Each structure stands twice: as C-alpha cells, then as structure tokens.
Chains A and B, each alone.
Chain A
Amino acid sequence: MRYIPNTPDERSAMLRDIGVTSLEDLLDAIPHELRYNKSLNIADGKSEWEVRREMIAMANRNISAMDMPCFMGAGCYDHFIPAAVDTLASRSEFVTAYTPYQPEVAQGTLQVIYEFQSMICELFGMPAANASLYDGGTALSEAISMALAYTKRRRVLWSESVNPAYRRVAQTINLSQGIRFDTAPCKDGCQAAEEMAMLLGDDVAAVVLQYPNFFGIVDDLRLIIDRAHEVGALVIIVTDPIAMGILHSPGQLGADIVVGEGQSLGNYMSYGGPYLGLFACSMELIRLMPGRMVGVTKDVDGRRGFVLTLQTREQHIRRDKATSNICTNQGLVATRATFYLSLIGPKGLEGIGIACGRRTEYLKQKLKEVPGFTVPHKGPHFREFLVQVPGTAEEFFEFMTTKGLLPGVPLTRLGMSDERGMLVALTETRSREEMDAYVRFARDYAVEGKR
C-alpha cells in the first residue's frame, strides 16, 4: 500500500496500544447486518505504471483542441496559457494547502486571494469581489439569490442573449424559492432595451444582461440599466474578463452585481471543469456576498497580514441564516487566474482583446463571402459571432471535424432551435492559416456538400 505507511506489524502494535485485539473491536458500533462482509467489486489496485497506461489510453480516445484548431466557445475558450502559470500553480504549497482558516500559516493563499479580488475589482469596475464561486452559471445563480434577498422581490427578467447554459443553472437553483423568470426576446442578437423595458415592473428583483452578449455582440445597455434602476431592480451583468482591456467595465455602466466565467484566465478547458465563477458587487450588497473574502489586517507585532473576513455571513457560523451554502470554492483556479493576470498585465489584456476582435472581424468578413453562409447579426463582435450555415450546423460540424477543425458550437447543443446556427469563437491563438483553412473548407462544404 504505497499511500499507507503503517505496516501490518505496526498496525497490530497500535491495536495493542489502543487496548483491543483486532480492528473488529473498534467497529462494534456498526451493527452486524449493516456490515459489508465482502470485498468491494472494484478491480484490484495497480502499480503506478499500469494506472498511467490505462488513463493515458482513455485520454487518447479523445480528440482534443490540442489536436485540432478550436473555434468553439459559448462559455469556454482556448486562450493561450503561459508556462509560468502551470509552473507556479503546480507548487504543492498552493495545491495541497487547506482552506485558509489558520491565517498565520496560510499567508501565501490569503495574499494571492487578496490580489485576485483586487484584480477582479479592477477588471469589473466594482468595489468588492469574493474569492470565487464554482463557475459562470453558479455565479449567476448566486447573483440572483443576492438580488432576491436584497429587494425581497420574486421576479427576474433576463435577456435571451444571456448564455442559455447559465440561465438553466440559475433557474434550477432558484426555482424552489418560488421565483418567476421572464425572458426578454432578443431581435438581431441585441438585447432590445424597449422590449425589455415593457416587461419591467416594481416586482422585478433583477435584470440580467450579458456584455458582450452570448452572440459576441457589444450592446448599448445604458437605457435598460437606467430603466431597471428606476423601478428599483438590481442590474446583474454577466461579463467576460478577457474583454475588460478594451471595453467599459460593467461597473462604469452601472451594474450592481457583475459575474463571469474565469476559465479563460489561464485555465484549461478540461471538459467543462473545474472552472472559476467570478463575482463582484457594490458595497451596499457586501453583507449579502456569497462565499469567502480576504481582508487586510495586522498581527500583534504590527505587520501586515491577511485573513478571511466577514465570516459571520458564512454557513459555518450563520447556518440556516447564511446568505449562501457555498463552502469549498475554486481557490486553486482563482490562484491560476491571479498568476495569469499578473503575467499579462494591462497591456497584455488590451492586446489579447484587440487580437480576438480583429480575428473575429477577419473570419466574419471572409465567411460572409462564402455562398450559403450568412452572418445574421451586425457587430461589433468581440470574440464570437453567429454564422448560419447551409444545411444544419451539426452536419457542418461533422464535415469540418473530418477536415481537422473544431468549427464552433451548434446552437442546438444549447437547446436553442436555430438548426443552422453555429457560434464561432476566435482567440488570440488562431492563426491566419487556420482561419483561411476554415474558409476554404466552408467553401468546399457549400459546393461538395450539395446543400
């Protein structure tokens, strides 16, 4: 047993020290009929070499974005990860540490989280950020819970251009609270302010918008934000941290709560998790903040130190009065995001934003020229745009993968009805050759594909 140090002899000696003759004596409290008196039906343990071989065989059954240029997004992006992120994040001081409840021996973790919070506040233009939530969808659901608790209202209005996967999660988590969700339709891919305003009322707890929206469009949100505030609703903006080097922050737009997915900040796509829920809010809401927060303080000698703070909001103290049940969060993923943001800096973030935007514009223009392909929405598109393909998006996806490209996300995979719709994402890692190949294959598909 390579993970168990004590040998059979040592075990016997320890049992003698305990004062029993066998392990059985220690299990007396478990009634006989509840004992599992056979071996677990799980294959025998294997050497590290054998386990590696089996796991690698399974990994090799997958086709990953390392094997094919990836144009897929819809909440998960193939951005470049500097080597230093992996090197630092694999240090066991960060990986194998516990939640920093004993601050004197957790200053490393605590200071990283303080830096993380500071960076998220900078990106989002907000005064308070927490130490992370599970992912974008659960961050949105916590934002909605916060708005319900603050306004004591029971209706939520969201735009159709908020990522449907996030909306599904938020709906699941809040439904048992008796919440009504109204969806504002979204013509031309934009979050139509007028249509949305018609659905507003003084029973609305929160208006939920996405910026840039699910279709990659940077909408003008000011009108709807003003209207929402006029009726006393909070404004929740779902945003993309990578866009924050080039766009006004949601805080500047007037958001009360800002949430987002932090996967793109130095974290792998990893088949959907672990990801990083980003969460920031106004100071007025801070007592309702879900999860952990780190604050600055001093030790008895007057040195600066960091501690978890405002813990009286949390479940281990407030129990059934807590604002959220979150306990374990995404500490190491937030740590990676902190390393990433430290490396890229403000200019890097701006540069990545521009690189994404220009590539998006390039592929969009080229695809518009391919017969049968249409781009239904007018820009500006940040990193993602919708293209309608001849035939179905699923068939096109299949065709493109045989050519060696992951061409985008068919909208039907998100439960949307547009069978021709494909959401295409461009990160700074897509080269001209890859984009030109995309266009060439699309042309082949339009011709050979007999659509």
Chain B
Amino acid sequence: MKRELQSLQKESALIFELSRTGRTGFQVPPTPDDFPKFSIPENFARKSLPRLPEVSENAVVRHYVNLSTRNHHIDRDFYPLGSCTMKYNPKVNDDMAALHGFSGLNPWQSGQMVQGAMQVMSELADALLEVTGMDSITLQPAAGAQGEFTALLMFRSYHQANGNPRKRIIIPDSAHGTNPASIILAGYSVTQLPSDANGLMDIEALKRSLDEDVAGLMITNPNTLGLFESNIAKIIDLVHDAGGLAYMDGANLNALMGISRPGDMGFDACHMNLHKTFSTPHGGGGPGSGPVAIKAKLEKYLPVPVLTSKGNAFVWDWDRPDSIGSVHTFYGNFGMHVRALTYIKSLGGDGLRAISDNAIINANYLRKKLSPTYQIFVDKPSMHEAVFSGNLQKAKGVRTTDIAKRLLDYGIHPPTVYFPLIVPECLMIEPTESESRETLDEFVEVMLQIDREASETPELLKNSPYTTPVRRLDEAGAARNLNIRYFDEVL
C-alpha cells in the first residue's frame, strides 16, 4: 500500500472502511457452560447481524485520535462565539464527575444510599438560587431549550389554575430561535415585537400588544445585542399588570453574576445554561443542562420529583398534585451538576462576580478596539458580548461568511454569525473572562488584517479557508443529495 505525504488535508477513512471480517476490539465475559441456553423464538431471531465495523482495539483508538485532530476546541484556541459562552472548562470538574461514587449510581437506588449525590444537587440549587435571586429551582431540564419549555409549562399551569391558560407569549425580534419553538410546543402562539432604535425592547409596542390573552414575556437579558434592558423593571411591571408572567432566557447570565439578579428585576422564572455560565464543556454539541429557577408563586408546578429534605436526610418528593409532570426520565444531567458545583466551589461568590466583571471588560475591550474597523451595531457599553455588522466589508465585496472562514486560517474559531437576525451581516463576539489580553490583541490584529485583505485581495477571503482539514464545504449539496448513513440498503 502506498503511503502519502502527511497532511491534515486528506480524506479520513470511515470506521466502516477499516472493517475486516473477524477482527474485534472486545472480548465478551464468559458465560458458564451449565447456564441455560437463551433460545430466541424463530420469529424474533435476527437473521443477519447489524453491520457494525469489525476493528481491533488499537485501530479504533488510532482512528478516533486521528479524527480528534480535525476539530477546533477551546483547549486549543480562541472561541469567541456570541451567546454561546465558550469559556475554559476547568479539568477538576471532569475529574469529580468521574468519581465512582457519582458515576456509578443507578437512579432507582434508595435515597439513603445516594445522600451525597442529593447533597450535590442541593448545594448547586442553593448557589444558583443565590445567583438568580429566585425562590425555588428544578435541575431537571437537560438543556437551555428544555428549561424554557419547562418554565412555559409552569406558566401554563399557573394561568390554568387562575381559570384561563391564555394564548400568547411575547418575544423581541432578537430572541434565540429556541424561544419561539418552545412557545409553540407549550401550546402558545408567538407575538414578536420589533426592537427600538437603541436595540432594546420597544415599550410602546409592548403596551399595544398586552391584553388578557398574553400569558407572558420571554426576554434575554442582557439581550442578544449584548445590551442590558435598562427598562426591564418597567417592562415586567407592564406584563404583570396585564396578568402575564415574565421569563428570562439566561443564555447571557455570564455577564450578571453578583451584579444584578433576575429575581430582583421581577422575573418569575429564568433558566441557566450550566454548559455556558458554569463551565461544563459543550462536548461537540452536548450534554448541556438547563436548570430553571422560579418565584414562589410557581413552586407547586415544579416538575416531579422535587428535591427536599426530611429531618437530616434529602428525599425526592413525588407527591405534588399540581406538578406539570416530568421533563426528563430521571433527575436531569447529574454529571453536569457535579461539574457546575465543583466550579462554583472553586470560585466562590466573589469569584463568580469576578468572572462577570472580567467578561464585561474583555467584551468592551474588543468593542473599542474593533469598532473603528467593523461597524458596531449599537454604540453603547456591552455586557459580555459585542455585536458588529460586516456592512463596511460587504461594501468591499466580501460577506461575513468570508470573514468567518478566513478566521479559520488564522486558527481562530469565528464568532456567531448572522444572529441576531435583526443585524445585517452580523458578527456577534463574546470573548469570555477566561481569555487573556494577549489573546484579545492577537484576535484584533487578525480582524484588522482580514479587513485589509478584504480591501486588497477580496478573492482571498472568498476562497478561504485554505489550511483547515477540509476547505469550504458544499452545504446545499449535502441537503440536495442526502447521505446520512454509510450503507445504502437498510437491513
């Protein structure tokens, strides 16, 4: 077989292509000979085995180690993804989640055997309540979007108990896509309001929209433009006066810890993304965790089971007749709870505040350094992210996509692009607190360089990236000629 010069830019074989009949990476523990045979009736017996790959253990390891090198990841370099909060994930968090006393627990074990696990959840719950200024919490939702949905079901139950579930939920036009999707799933319709000239919620438009059909408002604060909704108390009052409830999408909580609390602003519920604010790793798309904190008036609707205590012991309370039910088979993504608590213990209350302070300084630093070159959408201090438009570069013939792809050549992951939808050619940059000034300066240099390239050699940008494991991919083609599995035939 011919060996070629080493390059990242070669096709990586699929594990199926490495398969050779008879190879294996596993040995089944023996079954004693005198055990009864397990005979499956002819009707059910599988006629041909699933075509899983047949590969030795060392080949499996080599294959996936090689694949891993084709990823960008936070331990390698900068990841300034707005609203996604890609901060450094402390290693001790993972170590703690892997302790056998946590990872080896069956969820149906009796409460008295798992008091330590319940203590983890209780301590985490207390810390999150302190950060949010709320009265009660569920750790059950497995991700932020599930947290949104859980809160909306509680809103629904609350209104139902008051005689009418109501019909609509109001969101700003800068809302995350999960907000409207969650609203529909919870049986409501979406009313989307335009932002005002300052990028904030338009109070007059809100007033016009409020009536007895409004079940509530969902709003991200700081919002997706990186701005604090200065009128939030007034906004929530208006919603409350109309009989509605107010929900805060906590995607941007990284900017608020110890500075301002959703509960004190008047919100009735908010979720947190443990995989953002509390540094549990994204894992290439999950697991996340989306606890929902609430005010006392919603407490009886919490999903079951609810963690509570009896004497000196923690217990799960299932006996809650007004509960919305369960949104997870068990208690949520417990492994993420362990990581988040480890992180909180490492930082302490003042440390959490310092996280937010530094996230804010880093974001404003980038806003200041980049705004002469990249158009800033709203020229006001940012919270932990700054939103730019690529309009000036578009005038030179390149689009935000091209800027993003060119960044890859410099080893930097692009910011969030084309979101929020209200900003043309949007670039949403969130450096997070865990980046040093040198990294930010380097990023600024690269961004200025890319702007120069846009003037001088726009074609260079349009054809980028050049140095990545694969170059620009035909995404439309993938949808047109759908190929989502290795074997053509289904067995």
Chain A residues within an 8 Å CB radius of B382: 26
Distance between B436 CB and nearest chain A CB, rounded to angstroms: 4
Q: A99 and B285: CB pair below 8 A?
A: yes
Nearest-neighbour CB distance to chain B for A337, whole angstroms, equals: 11
Report the nearest A residue to B87, measured CB to CB.
A3
Distance in angstroms from B314 CB to nearest chain A CB is 10
1/0 per residue, CB under 8 A from B, across A299-327: the answer is 11101110101111011111110101111
Mask of A278-313 contacts with B, CB within 8 angstroms, 1/0: 000000001000001111111111011101011110
**Contact call B470/A98, Cβ cutoff below 8 A:** no
Contacting A90 at CB < 8 Å: which of B94, B346, B465? B94
Contact A27 B259 (CB under 8 A): yes
Q: Given the known inter-chain contacts A274-B333, A331-B283, please indicate yes or no for A55 contacting B96, CB distance below 8 A.
A: yes
Q: How many residues of B contact A (CB 8 A)?
A: 210
Question: Can you list the 10 inter-chain pairs with the closest CB atoms, starting with the nearest?
Answer: A272-B330, A332-B283, A59-B101, A172-B325, A331-B285, A357-B38, A61-B116, A45-B348, A40-B349, A64-B104
* A359 & B26 in contact (Cβ 8 Å cutoff): no
B32, B333, B490: the one contacting A121 at CB < 8 Å is B490
- Is B51 among interface residues, defined by CB-CB distance under 8 A? yes
> Given the complex, which residues of B lie within 8 Å of A428, measured CB to CB?
28-29, 31
CB distance A299 to B470 under 8 Å? yes
Tally of A interface residues using CB under 8 Å:
211
* A333-B97 Cα distance, complex, nearest whole Å: 14
Contact partners of A129 in chain B: CB under 8 A: 484-485
Nearest residue in A to B8 (C-beta to C-beta)? A107
Bound state CA distance, A92 and B37, in angstroms?
44
Instruction: Judge whether B145 and A328 touch: CB under 8 Å.
Output: yes
Binds A, one of B292-300, B350-358, B392-400, B451-459: B350-358
CB neighbours (8 Å) of A112 from chain B are: 64, 67, 284
B103 x A270 contact (CB < 8 A): yes
B484 touches A272 (CB 8 A): no
Contact of A84 (CB < 8 Å), options: B57, B435, B475: B57
- Contact B131 A106, beta carbon cutoff 8 Å: no
**A273–B106 contact, CB under 8 A?**
no
Q: Do A172 and B327 contact each other (CB < 8 Å), given the known contacts A1-B351, A114-B484, A362-B35? A: yes
* Chain B CB within 10 A, most for which of A63, A245, A295, A342: A342
Interface 1/0 per residue, B463-489 and A, CB below 8 Å? 101001111111101110011111100
Q: Is the CB of A316 within 8 A of B177?
A: yes
| Alpha-carbon separation in the docked complex, A118 to B485 (Å) | 4
Looking at A150-158, A200-208, A226-234, A345-353, the stretch in contact with chain B turns out to be A345-353
- 14 A-B residue pairings within 8 Å (CB atoms): A3-B347, A6-B361, A51-B96, A51-B345, A62-B113, A92-B73, A97-B73, A270-B335, A272-B107, A327-B178, A330-B283, A344-B52, A357-B40, A358-B36
- Per-residue contact bits, chain B 61-100, to A (CB 8 Å; 1 contact, 0 not): 1011101111111111001010010111110101111111
Cβ contact within 8 Å between A176 and B187: yes
Q: Please name 18 further chain A to chain B contacts, defined as beta carbons within 8 Å, in addition to the given A252-B491, A274-B287, A292-B285, sorted by A numbering.
A: A20-B364, A29-B383, A33-B233, A59-B101, A66-B101, A82-B57, A84-B25, A96-B75, A108-B71, A108-B284, A115-B486, A117-B485, A176-B153, A249-B50, A271-B114, A298-B474, A299-B473, A328-B285
| B281 contact from A95, A348, A415, Cβ within 8 A | A95
Most buried by B among A177, A244, A303: A303
Task: Determine whether the beta carbon of B116 is less than 8 Å from that of A58.
Answer: yes
Q: Give A35's nearest chain B residue, CB to CB.
A: B260
Cβ–Cβ contact A14 & B110, under 8 A: no
Query: Is B146 located at the chain interface by the 8 A CB criterion?
Result: yes
In the complex formed, the residue of A with least CB distance to B489 is: A127
Tell me if A75 counts as interface (CB < 8 A to partner B).
yes
User: Which B residues are CB-close (under 8 A) to A62?
Assistant: 101-102, 105, 113-117
Centre residue among A2, A42, A414 by max chain B CB count within 10 A:
A42
CA distance A98 to B49 in the complex (A): 34
Q: Which residue of the partner chain, among B39, B184, B282, B369, contacts A97 with CB atoms under 8 Å?
A: B282
Q: Are A168 and B113 in contact (CB under 8 A)?
A: no
B46 and A135 contacting across the interface, CB-CB below 8 Å: no
Within 8 Å of chain B (Cβ to Cβ): is A103? yes
Nearest B residue to A397, CB-CB: B110
Are the CB atoms of A107 and B470 closer together than 8 Å?
yes
A239, CB-defined interface residue at 8 Å: no
Judged by a CB distance under 8 angstroms, whether A91 is at the interface is: yes
Check A96/B25 contact, CB under 8 A, given A102-B413, A272-B331.
no
> A309, B106: Cβ atoms under 8 Å?
no
> Known contacts A59-B102, A62-B117, A105-B72: does B26 contact A343 (CB below 8 Å)?
yes
CB of A25 closer than 8 Å to a CB of B: yes
Q: Are B346 and A173 in contact (CB under 8 A)?
A: no
Does any Cβ of B come within 8 Å of A21's Cβ? no
What is the CB-to-nearest-CB distance from A136 to chain B, in angstroms, rounded to a whole number?
A: 6
Most chain A C-beta atoms within 10 Å of own C-beta, residue among B106, B130, B180, B281: B106
- Measured between beta carbons, the chain A residues less than 8 angstroms from B119 are 58, 61
When distances are taken between beta carbons in the complex, the residues of chain B under 8 Å from A415 are: 318
B10-18, B202-210, B238-246 - interface stretch: B10-18
Task: State the total of A-B contacts with C-beta under 8 angstroms.
Answer: 718
CB-contact partner of B61 in A87, A325, A335, under 8 A: A87
Pairwise interchain contact B116-A307, C-beta atoms closer than 8 A: no
Q: A62-B116, A169-B325 given as contacts; is B52 within 8 A of A15 (CB)?
A: no
Asked if B50 and A322 make an inter-chain contact with CB atoms under 8 angstroms apart, the answer reads no
> A48 and B346 in contact (CB under 8 A), knowing A29-B230, A138-B328, A274-B142?
yes
Closest chain-B Cβ to A322's Cβ sits at a distance in Å of: 4
Interface residues in A66-82 by Cβ distance below 8 A to B read: 66-67, 70, 72, 74-76, 78, 80, 82
Q: Does A444 contact B (CB under 8 A)?
A: no
Residues 344 to 403 of chain A near chain B (Cβ within 8 Å): 344-352, 354-355, 357-362, 365, 380, 397-398, 401
Chain B, residues 298-318, CB within 8 Å of chain A (1/0): the string is 000001000000000000001
A413 contacts across to B, CB distance below 8 A: 108
A309 to chain B, nearest CB (A): 4
- CA gap between A60 and B101 in the complex, in Å: 6
B325 touches A119 (CB 8 A): no
Answer yes or no: A448 CB below 8 A from chain B CBs. no
Chain B residues with Cβ under 8 A from A2's Cβ? 346
Q: Evaluate whether A134 and B146 lie within 8 angstroms (CB atoms) in the complex, with A55-B345, A299-B470 already known.
A: yes
A19 to B99, CA, bound (A): 47
Q: Contacts A5-B435, A41-B130, A62-B113 hold; do A328 and B275 have CB atoms under 8 A apart? A: yes
Interface centre among B53, B257, B265 (most CB of A within 10 A): B53
**CB-based contact B181/A325 at 8 Å:** yes
* Cβ–Cβ contact B70 & A10, under 8 A: no
- On whether the beta carbons of A301 and B303 are closer than 8 Å, the reply is no
Q: Name the CB-closest residue of A to B152.
A: A176
Contact residues in A for B102 (Cβ distance below 8 Å): 59, 62, 64, 270-271
Is A440 an interface position by the 8 A CB rule?
A: no
With an 8 A cutoff between CB atoms, is B460 at the interface? no
User: Given the complex of chains A and B, what is the CA–CA distance between A348 and B425 in angstroms?
Assistant: 51
Question: B75 and A92: CB pair below 8 A?
Answer: yes
Asked if residues A40 and B105 are in contact (CB atoms below 8 Å), the reply is: no
Q: How far is the CB of B477 from chain A (nearest CB, A)?
A: 5
Instruction: Known A107-B70, A345-B25; judge A64-B181 contact (CB<8 A).
Output: no
Contact B369 A328 (CB under 8 A): no
Judge whether B148 is part of the interface by a CB distance below 8 angstroms: yes
Please determine whether B469 and A104 come into contact, CB atoms closer than 8 angstroms: yes
Q: Are B84 and A98 in contact (CB under 8 A)?
A: yes
Q: A339 CA to B64 CA in the complex, in Å?
A: 8
